[in-house]
Amino acid sequence: MGTKSEVEITPAVLKWAIDSSGYSHADLAVAVGVDEATLADWLSKKQKPGTTQLRRLASKLHRQVAVFLLPRPPKEQALWVQFRHPLGAERGRALTPDERRFLRRAKRLQSAESWLAQALERERPDITPVLLSARVEDVARLWRERLAVPVESQAGWRSASTAFDAWRAAVESIGVTVFQFSMGTEACRGFSLWDEWAPTIAVNTAWTDEARIFSLFHELGHLLTRTDSACAAAPIVSRAGDSTERWCEEFAATLLLPAQALSHVGRVGNMTELVAVARRLRVSLRAAAIRLIELGKATWSLYESIPPVSDEKRKGGGGAGRNRGEIREDEFGHRTTELFVSAVDRDIISRSQALDYLDIPSSEFERLTASSV
């Protein structure tokens, strides 16, 4: 047999990639198929990884193989979001490797979009900062009016999926990018990244459309208050806790459920009645309960009786038969794809650069161009 082909990597780059991934040395060694001592030798330059081992490293760390051949770690903006926990939940969890990966992806796209928006001479999004001392009802009313979605339209949507698409389009129309990332049920429900030219929200597709709608507006609250955050998945269990989270929860519930939309609703004391309210307006049980409590039509005991699995998607179905271009379009949203298509059309960036950012094959670009009109 021939000898193993070794690759001359830069240990400092490997250390940087590991540190930014969130993986422990033990987890990474198992994924690559070596022991921790071997990984330590790669980091100290006592040994070199083989070609197959390097490919496994790159795959696990979600980096291109060529990155490990660079003379020094590339410059990359730090992930500076604050991990926020639900009210009453135990604190201390760090961002998971998957959360870090999707945050890096969102930040890379956001940086590009910010530059493209200025190069294309787009209007800067009109999103005035809001203080956490501001009255939630007033802020929610203002933004509900700006989104121009009447309660009658909301009540008329045929499905929660239709509702999410409509809300997403409304939020994108004011200049906010909305990503959908498949981060899994162990990850945060969503996160937000402020930028004056490309404010960004990401929601986790592991949850139902109703739960995603609530996350969308919860994260909009974080953009308004300039409190960039990754928000935990566990449900609220009490009224105590992070005041920023509480403000954003109330903002989302109030925007989605204006007082007039619930004027006909009396006291709601059981789950059957709560489900009826939530289903009529295509919102989550959590959003409906919070708003009813604020209006004095329900109590916290009703909220606390909501099953933890109420936001989880049903198993099976969905996504079958979609190609990579369709998946990316759904993931990145209309605002992102339209910006890149317009930038190529105006010769601001090349087609190959757009394909790299959007992570789609060349054959999909024409379809994307047609759908972005």
Kindly report, residue by residue over 81-110, the tens digit of the pLDDT.
Answer: 665 655 444 455 677 888 888 998 999 999
Q: Mean pLDDT lowest for which of 65-74, 157-166, 200-209, 320-329? A: 320-329
Share of the chain above pLDDT 70, in %: 89
pLDDT confidence tier of residue 237, bands split at 50, 70 and 90: very low
Greater pLDDT, 307 or 238: 307
pLDDT of residue 18: 87
Query: Is the pLDDT at 122 greater than 60, yes or no?
Result: yes
Instruction: Report the residue count for the chain.
Output: 373
Dist. CA 279–CA 269, nearest whole Å: 16
Query: Is the pLDDT at 363 greater than 80, yes or no?
Result: yes
pLDDT of residue 268: 96
Using CB atoms within 10 A of its CB, is residue 343 exposed (0-12), middle (13-18) or buried (19+)?
A: buried
Share of the chain above pLDDT 90, in %: 57
Judge contact between 212 and 205, C-beta under 8 A: yes
190-193 vs 200-204, strand pairing mode: antiparallel
Amino acid at 171: V
Query: Is the pLDDT at 243 greater than 90, yes or no?
Result: no
CATH of 11-69, one of 1.10.260.40, 3.40.50.10490, 3.30.70.20, 1.20.1440.230: 1.10.260.40
For the chain, the distance separating the N- and C-terminal CA atoms, rounded to the nearest angstrom, is 58
Dist. CA 169–CA 178, nearest whole Å: 9
Residue 178, φ and ψ in degrees, nearest 5: -125, 110
- What pLDDT digit, counting tens, does each position of 180-220 carry? 999 988 888 999 999 999 999 999 999 999 999 999 999 99
Query: Is the pLDDT at 139 greater than 70, yes or no?
Result: yes
Q: What is the pTM of this model?
A: 0.83
Q: DSSP character for 236?
A: P
- What pLDDT digit, counting tens, does each position of 162-186 carry? 999 999 999 999 999 999 999 988 8
Q: DSSP character for 47?
A: S
Mean pLDDT of 225-245: 71
Which residue bears the tokens 């909501």? 306
Q: Phi-psi category of 339—alpha, beta or left, where left has phi over 0 and alpha has psi -120 to 50?
A: alpha
What are the structural domain ranges in the chain?
11-69, 82-308, 324-371
Using CB atoms within 10 A of its CB, is residue 184 exposed (0-12), middle (13-18) or buried (19+)?
A: middle
User: Looking at 31-176, which runs of residues are DSSP E strands?
Assistant: 82-84
Which residue bears the tokens 């903006």? 77
pLDDT confidence tier of residue 239, bands split at 50, 70 and 90: low
What is the rounded average pLDDT for all residues in the chain?
88
Mean pLDDT of 211-232: 92
pLDDT of residue 93: 64
pLDDT of residue 90: 47
pLDDT of residue 4: 66
Greater pLDDT, 229 or 88: 229
